[in-house]
A and B are shown apart, each in its own frame.
Chain A
Amino acid sequence: MALLDVVDLVVEFPTRRGVLRALDGVSLAIEPGEVLGVVGESGAGKSLTGAAIIGLLEPPGRVAGGQILLNGERIDTKTQEQMRPLRGKQIGAIFQDPLTTLNPLYSIGRQLVETMQTHMKLSDRDARARAIKWLEEVGIPAAAQRIDAYPHQFSGGMRQRVVIALALCAEPKLVIADEPTTALDVSIQAQIITLLKRITREHGTSVMLITHDMGVIAETADRVAVMYAGRVAEIGPVAEVVKHPAHPYTEGLMGSIPSLTHRVDRLRQIDGSMPRLTAIPTGCAFNPRCDKVFDRCRRHRPGLVPSGKTQAACWLYATEAANG
């Protein structure tokens, strides 16, 4: 059984001028110990998917359809108070900007201890000892001395290490990392990804790694989901998706990572940009930008269908049996 199963997830924002459908039938699954990469342009719905899973959509955003199952149990119907014990303990989260994710007025030790004591029965002394161990594990030098230091006393890279320790210190089964290196200096991005990969493997933690960097995904993920306009365009094993992308949009994305393109035929950049939520075309959301577009694409919406070892939401791969 998958650790996490997202089925046809719909997220909507009621606004004065009607309901905005930001996620429209997102389906993906994560196995225990697996790293699922999630890629897509800015605004594709990656962060919303993560926020919906952990139950922290910002109002008025709400799950308006589909299901989210953790270990087979529905969590999308839980109240905030029912979700709270799961957060940190079952599902951890790592945010983008380490400069703003740590409370500036609490020492890092206090934040770690508070998190662990929220989820586990631990004496102050044990919690503190564990906090030091976690800081050592994420590579904070002189952890025993620095545990009482405040966030502003650390560099961005060090703070992201602290954030990783905080996200993992109650030993969640799954951690959602939303662009964990985007805000960091390029020179330390690789270190943080390496750390995240190592530490989650050691603890057997599954990862949903959200990024727009295909290079990171190619190096880190087991499988990858490509998102476009609030939908999953393609999902499959990372090597397949990189080397033999099925969906025309994935092909275009792969064209934008030079280090990996030597395997792939040189691709043109995709013209145009992703549609706004208010103007998503009928049929395939990608159809105005697709050079393989045909009649059916403009009238009916494609679902995920197998294509080789991956699944793509594209009419090119639909068999006769698929309705449309």
Chain B
Amino acid sequence: MFAFIVSRLLQAIPVLLVVGFISFGMFAFVGDPILFMLGQDFTVEQKEALIRQLGLDQPFLVQYGHYLWAALHGNFGMSYRLARPVSTLLLERLPATAELALSAAAFAMIVGMPLGVYTGIKRDALSSRLILMFSLVGVSLPPFLIGILMILIFAVLLGWLPSFGRGEVVNLGIWTTGFLTWSGIKALVLPAISLGLFPLTLNMRLVRAEMLEVLRSDYIKFAKARGISQRAIYFGHALKNTLVPVITIVGLQIGGLIAFAIVTESVFQWPGMGLLLVQSIGTADIPVMSAYLQLIAVLFVVINLLVDLLYYAVDPRLRIGRGGGH
């Protein structure tokens, strides 16, 4: 088990190195931060001083080495735009994005999985068909449109929920949370739903497809032939067997939700990393962009590891070898 985790982490190193190289490459090849930082009027001396200060005069590989070394220590340089350390900026924004992504993922799972089980069991019922039809709408509407529509209905027309921002947050040291205030929770509802709608339909369709597959299997027929109750068959034997593929997708989803919260954060002016990224792209703030890229890569590695560990918990075929091993 321990060996498994270590080997997984070792396997992740090349991935992280490649991502690090790409994000470093952004410095070397994209845009000209000097021009951006100095504006229109500057002297040659000013320019050269800044180049030295930023280390841009050194050979490429040396710069890459410095870059990695600094990144390992959590130092991603200064934001060109805000002139503050990138790591601080990202850490400030991380809680907002993480809470949004987790709420969206929870919404997608808590609503999506039971709907998947239901439409899988009652595959020919009218209710199932209607749910599937609605889910098709959910998949085909672009997320920003759904966000705007929801703002229009629930914020502008009905006035039930706020249309932007994170509401009041409580500061818990390094983490700020919106979960502890009523206005924070209200502010979370619309963004979380609009971000979670797509993965919800995906979860539902996935669980449904897996459910249909599993319900056809011999072990389900055998369980029926032994008189096992419907409830135990559907929510025990069948659901557990659909979990393995579902865990993979849900794991990837959470990574994806963090990465793609960008659109939702823009629509709802949610003060997370996505919004920071959008503002950084607009101003060619490369240190922020490259650090963001690396943070996402690390998140994916961590999530993949968690997914593998969950497999272990669910599937005895991975946990216990053929020979025994109790």
Within 8 Å by CB of A88, from B221, B225, B314, B315, lies B225
Query: For chain B residues 236-250, which have a beta carbon within 8 Å of chain A?
Result: 237, 240-241
Tell whether A85 is near chain B: CB-to-CB under 8 Å: yes
How far apart are the CA atoms of A193 and B212 in the complex, in Å? 33
Query: Which of A102, A114, A148 has the most C-beta atoms of chain B within 10 angstroms of its own C-beta?
Result: A114
Contact segment of B65-73, B76-84, B129-137, B226-234: B226-234
Interface SS majority for chain B:
helix
Contact indicator B317/A150 (Cβ below 8 Å): yes
Of all chain B residues, the one with the shortest Cβ separation from A115 is B226
Tell me which of A93, A101, A118, A153 contacts B228 (CB under 8 A): A118
| B226 and A87 within 8 A (CB) | yes
Q: At the interface, yes or no: A163 with Cβ under 8 Å from chain B?
A: yes
Q: Decide: B227 and A84 in contact? CB cutoff 8 A.
A: yes
Q: Chain A residue with minimal CB distance to B218?
A: A100
A152-B222 contact, Cβ under 8 Å, with A104-B317, A105-B315: no
What are the residues of chain A within 8 A of B52 when measuring CB–CB?
A: none
B219 pairs with A104, CB closer than 8 A = yes
In angstroms, how far is the closest chain A Cβ from the Cβ of B125?
13
Specify the chain A residue showing the minimal Cβ separation from B325: A153
B228 smallest CB distance to A (angstroms): 6
Q: A150-B320, A152-B316, A153-B320 are in contact. Are A101 and B219 (CB under 8 A)?
A: yes
Give the docked Cα–Cα distance between A59 and B320 (Å).
Answer: 37
In the assembled complex, A89 has its CB within 8 A of some CB on chain B = yes
A54 at the interface (CB under 8 A from B): yes
Report whether B227 and A163 are in contact in the complex, using a CB–CB cutoff of 8 Å: no
Q: Is residue A269 contacting chain B, with contact meaning CB distance below 8 A?
A: no
A104 touches B241 (CB 8 A): yes
Are A170 and B314 in contact (CB-based, < 8 A)?
no
Does A95 make an interface contact (CB < 8 A)? Answer: yes
- Closest beta carbon of chain A to B163's beta carbon, Å: 45
Q: A118-B229, A152-B317 are in contact. List 16 more A-B contacts (CB 8 A).
A: A56-B224, A56-B225, A86-B227, A87-B225, A87-B226, A101-B218, A101-B219, A103-B237, A105-B240, A105-B241, A114-B228, A115-B226, A149-B320, A152-B320, A163-B222, A167-B226
Find the A residue at minimum CB distance from B229. Answer: A118
**How far is A152 from B240 in the complex, measured between Cα atoms in Å?**
16
Residue contact A152 to B225, C-beta cutoff 8 Å: no
- Give the distance to chain B from A147, nearest Cβ to Cβ, in Å: 11
Contacts of B228 in A (CB 8 A): 88, 114-115, 118
- Contact partners of B230 in chain A: CB under 8 A: 84
Residues of chain B whose beta carbon lies under 8 Å from any beta carbon of chain A: 217-219, 221-230, 232, 237, 240-241, 314-317, 320-324, 326
Contact A103 B326 (CB under 8 A): no
Cβ of A150 to closest chain B Cβ, rounded Å: 4
Would you give the shortest CB distance from B157 to chain A, in whole angstroms?
Answer: 46
Interface 1/0 per residue, A70-114 and B, CB below 8 Å: 000000000000001111110011010100111111110000001
Considering the complex, give the chain B residue whose CB is closest to the CB of A84.
B227
Given contacts A104-B316, A150-B317, A153-B323, contact A166 B227 (CB under 8 A): no
Structural contact, B227 and A150, CB atoms closer than 8 A: no
Write the nearest CB–CB distance from A199 to chain B, whole angstroms. Answer: 17
Enumerate chain A residues within 8 angstroms of B224, measured Cβ to Cβ: 56, 87
Question: Do residues A97 and B218 form an inter-chain contact, with CB atoms below 8 A?
Answer: yes
Contacts of B229 in A (CB 8 A): 84, 118
- Please pick, from B225, B241, B314, B320, the residue contacting A103 in the complex, using a CB distance under 8 A: B241
A114 touches B218 (CB 8 A): no
A119 interface residue per 8 A CB criterion? yes
Nearest A residue to B315 via CB reads A105
> How far is the CB of B233 from the nearest CB of chain A, in Å?
10
**What's the nearest-Cβ distance from chain A to residue B201, in Å?**
26
Given the interface pairs A100-B217, A100-B219, A101-B219, the reply to whether A153 lies near B226 with Cβ below 8 Å is no
Top 3 A-B pairs, shortest CB-CB distance? A88-B227, A87-B227, A93-B225
CA distance A101 to B224 in the complex (A): 11
In the bound complex, residues from chain B placing their C-beta under 8 Å from that of A170 are: 226-227
Q: Mark A115-152, 1 if CB is under 8 A from B, else 0.
A: 10011000000000000000000000000010011101
Can you pick out 30 interface pairs between chain A and chain B where the beta carbons lie within 8 Å of each other? Answer: A84-B227, A85-B227, A86-B227, A87-B225, A88-B225, A88-B227, A92-B226, A93-B222, A93-B226, A95-B225, A102-B219, A102-B222, A104-B219, A104-B241, A104-B315, A104-B317, A105-B240, A105-B241, A106-B237, A106-B240, A114-B228, A115-B228, A118-B227, A118-B228, A119-B227, A150-B320, A152-B322, A153-B321, A166-B226, A170-B226
A54 touches B225 (CB 8 A): yes
Inter-subunit contact B222/A166 (CB<8 Å): yes
